[in-house]
Amino acid sequence: MHRGRLIRIILIILILGMGGFLIVRNISLKKQLKNGEISNITSKDFLPFGGNGGGGGSIIKNIFNTNDNEKDINEVKTPLIKIHDSVAGSIIVNIPDEIAPSTGLDKNGNKIYDTTLAIRYVTKENGFVYDYIPKYQKSYLISDTPIPKVSFAHFSPNGNTILFQYLDIDLITEKSILGTLGNNTVTVLPNNIISYAFSKNGKFVYVQKTNNGAKFILKNEVGKESVIYESELSEWNVNFLGEENLLITTKASEYADGFSYIININNKTVKRLWTNVTALTTKASLGGNFILRGETEKSGPKLSLYNVKTGELSPLGKMGMVEKCSFSEDETTLTCAIPKSFENRPYPDDWYLGIIETNDGIIRYTTQNKNTRIISDLEQDSGNPIDVLELKVNNSGSMTIFINKKTSELYLYEE
């Protein structure tokens, strides 16, 4: 009897000791990651991903106000709001409104909530993920898995999978990590990937430089990888054009002609779309019905809208840059940050390098009849010039988010 009790006590001590080891390892890893001290990182180093760091995947429910001063949420809101000072990436998502009372129970006894719009974003300093809810002017912390000094974060269309990019300790090698919130799945991608894209239904493609050029690698919905295309050229940008095709375009420079092709991911056929276009840039709508095309003429950067079904290419009548535009998910509108003026400099080269900045306003086009509407003079609304990057908009057009390229500040414009 005493021997059995002794064995049970020993087992309890061992279990508690192992738990303590795991907690200490987790805390130690977090400290090392925050300081950028780990060089040989594997996917296991980031698990559990998307939780509060204590071993579970639950969302942290404590809420804080992201503004410097406390505000009454019932006061009149200004149309332009700064959400955070230093952001690597953001997206507009629908989430359950768990602050409001539940509307009932489902068949399993779980509470049902109405949905509300939120801005999901990643902070540069530590890679934490937050949901800012405009309705309450508050933010939820939904992941404190540390990713050191994130330079860029790109979200899947549903906002649940995130590609984090950051510089290794040598400050040259770019690391890329693919993580899915709530699934405890993390993939460490090859170093220095060139370009990448998500499809609406969960496919992911990335471009990896090789000794002979580059290869396009597709990761399907269940995580299986396959090489879709190999090229002797090494510098490409890639978009999904719907679910079955890729739009690939050579990286843009005013000093070089660009080329663009469409690749079918099933039969791997390649169709030439455009050739010999100076500083060619492209962006596809999520459903694959439209392509925004940018090029540089003597007068400056020019935007055109291409209808994939009809083959019609329509100039938009405003000088602008593809990187400052975004299609709505339903493809009915195109929203762009349009610079008030352009310096006599090479575009997009000097803008990419940060040598020049732009002072933008926001304009919205309808994709069918190309009607335009001015949304905001950002300098007038904010008091300072804003050089827009990573612009996104919801379907109704009531919310537009973007990052100030110069400062990495995240803004929300509400109509």
CATH number, domain of 239, equals: 2.40.10
Q: Supply the range of the domain harboring residue 369.
A: 289-415
Residue 17 domain flag: no
411 and 301 housed in the same domain: yes
Q: Where in 144-194 does DSSP place strands (E)?
A: 150-155, 161-167, 174-180, 185-188
Q: For the segment 139-184, what is each residue's pLDDT rounded down to a tens digit?
A: 999 999 998 789 999 999 999 999 999 998 888 899 999 999 988 7
**In the numeric block, which tokens belong to residue 263?**
């690749």
Q: For the segment 131-144, what is each residue's pLDDT rounded down to a tens digit?
A: 999 999 999 999 99
Which pLDDT belongs to residue 183? 80
Contacts of 12 (CB under 8 A, 6+ apart): none
164 and 114 housed in the same domain: yes
182 and 51 housed in the same domain: yes
In the numeric block, the tokens 């805390």 are attached to 27
327 and 352 housed in the same domain: yes
Choose the final residue of a domain: 186, 216, 242. Answer: 186
Which pLDDT belongs to residue 186? 85
Question: Quick one: which H or E segment has residue 42?
Answer: none
174 and 98 housed in the same domain: yes
Taking 50 as the pLDDT cut, the residues of the chain under it are 1, 7, 9-39, 52-76
Contacts of 280 (CB under 8 A, 6+ apart): 249, 250, 252, 257, 258, 259, 260, 274, 293, 294, 295
Which pLDDT belongs to residue 44? 56
Choose the final residue of a domain: 255, 278, 301. Answer: 278
Question: Quick one: which H or E segment has residue 325?
Answer: strand 325-327
Choose the final residue of a domain: 278, 309, 344. Answer: 278
Question: What is the side-by-side order of every strand in the sheet holding 300-307?
Answer: 281-284, 290-297, 300-307, 313-315
Q: How far apart are CA 390 and CA 373, in angstroms?
A: 20
The b/e string for 275-306 (b: 16+ C-beta within 10 A; e otherwise) is eebbbbbbbbbbbbbbbbbbbbeeebbbbebb
Which pLDDT belongs to residue 185? 74
Question: Quick one: which H or E segment has residue 218?
Answer: strand 213-219
How many structural domains compose the chain? Answer: 3
281 strand-pairing partners: 294
First to last CA, the chain: 74
Q: Supply the DSSP symbol for 284.
A: E
Which pLDDT belongs to residue 66? 43
57 and 171 housed in the same domain: yes
Other beta carbons within 10 angstroms of residue 134's beta carbon come to 20
- C-alpha dihedral over 374, 375, 380, 381, to 10 degrees? 170
Residue 16 domain flag: no
Which pLDDT belongs to residue 45? 58
Q: How far apart are CA 334 and CA 175, in angstroms?
A: 32
Residue 209 domain flag: yes
- C-alpha dihedral over 159, 160, 161, 166, to 10 degrees? 70
304 and 394 housed in the same domain: yes
Strands 257-264 and 270-278: antiparallel
122 and 150 housed in the same domain: yes
Which pLDDT belongs to residue 51? 59
121 and 212 housed in the same domain: no
Domain harbouring 360, CATH code: 2.120.10.30
Residue 355 domain flag: yes
Which pLDDT belongs to residue 32? 37
Residue 136 domain flag: yes
Q: Report the candidate in 173, 171, 197, 327 with the shortest Cα–Cα distance to residue 249.
A: 197
Residue 172 domain flag: yes
Which pLDDT belongs to residue 39? 43
Q: How far apart are CA 178 and CA 154, in angstroms?
A: 9
The b/e string for 176-185 (b: 16+ C-beta within 10 A; e otherwise) is bbbbbbeeeb
Which pLDDT belongs to residue 147? 87
Residue 147 domain flag: yes
Which pLDDT belongs to residue 95? 94
397 and 303 housed in the same domain: yes
Which pLDDT belongs to residue 415? 87
